[in-house]
Structure 1
């Protein structure tokens, strides 16, 4: 991954990654090897965006898209106080829809995800593969061991500032707004990252992404685009609320003293109820189908886990941002303080913030109801 013409970290990378292989256990060597190979392929495919834009052989549509990317990248550092570095200043076309495929796994009667402890990032609730077939093979092995699995395509990942992460065709193809979401989210990981706490990391980055999008839309979007964006945010919030409520029901079921057969029956009924409530929610959206894939045949404990990683703690971080009066540098300082706590203290602090967020939502609802009755 060439970060910029005057600096090339790539020659140093193989030696560092070779060291990773030397300290890895035998069972992990194959996994690390595919990760090294896949990452090096991404690096080799990267070109400076400025070079792509001036290249007469570049597709005109691509040049226009990359001009928009430059504006997004500048906005991220200038307006969101995100790192000013060479990440997202290069572009790579990987000629596939996703950069990696993540495998999630959970037991039949639990929402506690299977975790893998990896060098540098700690223990995480997923395992990523650059080749979908590798992900499918690994998922099949886990299913043979009795786990439920979910494979999710990932359009972007962060190297946490160790390398200049490129803009990829895998998320550029999704449009300008998705590029902005991705850049804001992934740059947030470079600011604060807690090894071993996936939910904290992803929820924090999602909160930054949401605030970044709100500010970006205010200055760069038309009234119609802002309206569409607000509608989408409302749908996301409604879906997150639905999934959160059902995760609590599943957790209560799995913690009960029912027999395995009784839990299986109750579990099927809960998934059926979840799909039914989603159908009602979709109807209230006028039939919007954007989340239908969530409720396909892969809907199981592993998918519930995957969804929770990105949404469960977002209200806590947004409550903290509100306490900071939307001052992002101050917010980042507060988040860094949370990150420095031990796991139990960090979770307790976030739980308190979740209560604050819940109280705020209820207060807003009461005000809205009172206003409507006047």
Structure 2
């Protein structure tokens, strides 16, 4: 599902699901057991791309995409100075539509996500499951506690270089520009990681994917691929603008000194207005394209709460890239330095005001 790519960003969404490998005593034994089994099963399914290319049973569309992915992988090393390792040099068909399913939850009258804490990655606003049925079971438990919950599929995740992350059937057939951006984004997570700061990590990887994706499309894609991506990205930008605007309105509502019943009524009005604006935009700008219908039908505080993490600091990272003369290695060195600083010092170094509390935005599509 392409919407999940944006919400998750193809990010470290699933890293929480593998953070406990070998560390089951640090948390829920059942959770880490499914994490280990799911991740190791995926790694076992992956085989080198040349093996797939040499098999008679590999379809031509898949063969073409695998070859394209390897050109992108070479470009990532030679032009973007991203890690030169075996990540995205292997491919696995998981026989399912997502690598993991994330569960996110928020209170009825707040956009603040429930958080879970893990070894290595710190505290994040999501929990990843390799089995959708298990994700749905946990979601039901959270709803029983009175929380609003969203479950969404994540096409890819980064293990920060601990493992050689594979290409997957969940994203290999994305539009060319989106496939390039996903690979560049995930590789960027191997460059630097600030524990517990989802906004910093995702914004950095998103900045790398944007810069790299633009260069790939300009230098290597044909006109048809560029046009396809422009249509795809235009809808995504419209979705972002609309949902973030309504997220801000709801956040403001939840800060008002209203009685709960009055706030619930106003909340219902805002969600209805958001859906109406989406339907108008879909017809007026997208020619009726319905790919986001499911998201708006299920939209709640949890799904809106996810939207904060991926773009907030991107302009700051793009300015930092320019300040380093467009030199990727110098840029990465500076980002690594910032990742070692306390969170507020990182923001100040990026030219941003301090904030009261760290983001716990979930890796979303």
Question: In the aligned structure 1, how far is the partner of 2:315 from the partner of 2:243?
Answer: 14
Paired position in structure 2 for 1:20:
23
How far off its partner does 1:49 sit?
0.9
Q: Would you say the 8 A contact 2:20–2:119 is kept in 1?
A: no
Please say if residues 47 and 91 of structure 1, whose CA atoms lie closer than 8 Å, have aligned partners that are also in contact. Answer: yes
2:207 and 2:318 in contact (8 A); partners too: yes
Larger Rg: 1
Shift of the alpha carbon at 1:279? 2.8
**Equivalence for 2:256:** 256
Structure 1 runs (4+) deviating above 6 angstroms are none
Task: Give, in whole Å, the separation in 2 of the partners of 1:244 and 1:311.
Answer: 11
Higher mean alpha-carbon deviation, 212-221 vs 199-208, is at: 199-208
- Rounded Cα–Cα distance in structure 2 between residues aligned with 1:170 and 1:338: 33
Deviations 1:231-287 (A, max 9, x none): 433433333222222222111111111111111111111112222232333313433
Which residue number corresponds to residue 76 of structure 2? 76
* Superposition deviation, residue 18 in structure 1: 6.7
SS at match of 2:47: strand
Partner of 2:189: helix, strand, or coil? helix
CA shift for structure 1 position 55: 2.8
TM-score, normalising length: structure 2: 0.85
Bigger RCO of structures 1 and 2 (CA < 8 A, at least 6 apart): 2
SS of aligned partner of 1:281: helix
2:288 aligns with: 287
Residue 311 (structure 1) shift: 3.1
How many aligned positions are there? 335
SS of alignment partner, residue 291 of structure 2: coil
User: Structure 1 residues 158, 140: CA separation in 2 closer, same or farther (over 3 Å shift)?
Assistant: same
The answer to whether the aligner puts 1:318 opposite 2:318 as a matched pair is yes
Distance 1:323 1:227 in 2: 31
Q: Deviations over 1:153-202 (max 9, x none)?
A: 01111111011111111111335433322211110111111121122222
Alignment of 1:151-300 (within 5 A): 151-282=151-282, 283-296=284-297, 298-300=298-300
How many Å separate the matches in 2 of 1:194 and 1:350? Answer: 14
- CA change 1:198–1:17 in 2 (3 A) is closer
Structure-to-structure mapping, 1:19-98, within 5 angstroms: 19-21=22-24, 23-25=25-27, 28-98=28-98
8 Å CA contact 1:109–1:254 kept in 2: the answer is: yes
Moved more, 239-248 or 117-126: 239-248
1:128 aligns to what SS in structure 2? strand
Question: CA distance change for structure 1 residues 239 and 134 in 2, over 3 Å: closer, same or farther?
Answer: same
1:298-313 alignment to 2 at 5 Å? 298-313=298-313
Q: Please, which runs of 5 or more residues in structure 1 have no aligned partner? A: 1-15, 355-374
**Is this contact kept in 2: 1:244–1:312, CA < 8 A?**
no
Distance 1:160 1:314 in 2: 20
Change (3 A) 1:285 1:317: farther
Q: Secondary structure at the match of 2:111?
A: coil
Shift of 1:76: 0.9
Distance in 2 of aligned mates of 1:218 and 1:172 = 20
CA displacement 1:9-43 (0-9 Å, x = unmatched) = xxxxxxx967411x324xx1110000000011111
Output the CA distance in 1 between the equivalents of 2:82 and 2:130: 27
CA contact (8 A) 1:149 1:302 kept: yes
Seen in structure 2, the aligned counterparts of structure 1 residues 41 and 309 have a Cα distance that, compared at 3 Å, is same
Separation of aligned partners in 2, 1:20 and 1:105: 25
Secondary structure, counterpart of 1:66 in structure 2: helix
Q: List gaps (5 residues or longer) in structure 2.
A: 1-18, 355-365
Q: TM-score, normalised by structure 1?
A: 0.83
State the Cα RMSD in Å.
2.3
Q: Which has the higher helix share?
A: 1
